[in-house]
Amino acid sequence: MPSQKQANNKTRPRSGNVVEYIHSLEHKGRKEDALTLLLMMSEITGEEAQMWRPSIVGFGQYHYVYESGREGDSFLTGFAPRKANMVVYIMPGFSSYKQDLSKLGKHKLGRSCLYLGRLQSIDLSVLRNLVEKSVDDMKCKWG
């Protein structure tokens, strides 16, 4: 049974077939990009993709405990094909990756969200490097 501080976490693994989810996407470009990210992130993490929330595809898992006592589980990296853009989750944030981001191409940033248009408009080798570094950093920080 999860602790009280874990009980409210909305982001957690869900049942669901990742490939079926991707093939259900209406936008052809998002579907193609999602299949590209599925392969890339599977190779990088060595983990099987899993649905998190209704529309997030996550890879791997780690357990966190903050100083506040809040704790939970999350994925190491992942993506969410949204209508407006593709969201790639770089869980450590972006402060250590400024050099990579400068070479990536057109993007916007949130706290741990990298918002991209179509993948054809960015440098995929830079994205791969960014995801690899972030996964390594998460494993070092959270075990």
Measured distance CA(22)–CA(25) in Å, rounded: 6
> Which CATH number is correct for 18-142, 1.10.3720.10, 3.40.50.300, 3.40.50.10210, 3.90.1150.200?
3.90.1150.200
- Token pair, residue 130, equals 């960014």
Structural element, H or E, at residue 108: strand 108-109
pLDDT tens sequence across 29-87: 999 999 999 999 999 999 999 999 889 999 999 888 888 888 888 999 999 999 899 99
Cα dihedral across residues 108, 98, 74, 35: positive or negative = positive
pLDDT tens sequence across 73-99: 899 999 999 989 999 999 999 999 999
Measured distance CA(109)–CA(113) in Å, rounded: 6
Extents of the domains making up the chain: 18-142
Judge whether residue 111 has pLDDT over 70.
yes
Measured distance CA(125)–CA(50) in Å, rounded: 24
Structural element, H or E, at residue 77: strand 77-81
pLDDT of residue 9: 66
